[in-house]
């Protein structure tokens, strides 16, 4: 079942962050892990799913993604650490 969500992947703890949106988080997280889609996350090695938030609609997920991207790096770090203080890879919890 597809579910709109905003998410953040990281290269490592406190490393490079990539914020995105998708309707299929398990598939998208797998693509990041495998470097299957060329772009920013592949270039900077953002493979670890460290945060995500499920939304009712894609429009809500996109609005949240834009809000996160407009925020500072410090705010992104606080967001991640509020729910995932150890920066564990959440990909396994999706399966």
Residue spans per domain, the chain? 5-94
Give 94's pLDDT tier (boundaries 50, 70, 90): confident
Q: What is the pTM of this model?
A: 0.94
pLDDT for position 30: 96
Tens digit of pLDDT for each residue in 12-56?
A: 999 999 999 999 999 999 999 999 988 999 999 999 999 999 999
CATH 3.40.1260.10 assigned to 5-94 = no
pLDDT for position 47: 96
Q: Please, what is the Cα angle at 29 between 87 and 35, to 5 degrees? A: 105
First-to-final CA distance of the chain? 13
Task: Report the largest interatomic distance among the alpha carbons of the chain, rounded to a whole angstrom.
Answer: 33
């Amino acid at each position: 079942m597809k579910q709109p969500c905003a998410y953040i992947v990281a290269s490592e703890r406190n490393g490079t962050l990539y914020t995105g949106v998708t309707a299929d988080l398990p598939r998208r997280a797998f693509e990041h892990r495998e470097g299957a889609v060329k772009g920013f996350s592949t270039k900077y090695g953002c493979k670890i799913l460290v945060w995500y938030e499920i939304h009712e609609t894609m429009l809500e997920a996109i609005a949240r993604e834009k809000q996160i991207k407009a925020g500072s790096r410090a705010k992104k770090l606080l967001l991640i650490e509020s729910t995932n203080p150890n920066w564990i890879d959440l990909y396994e919890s999706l399966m």
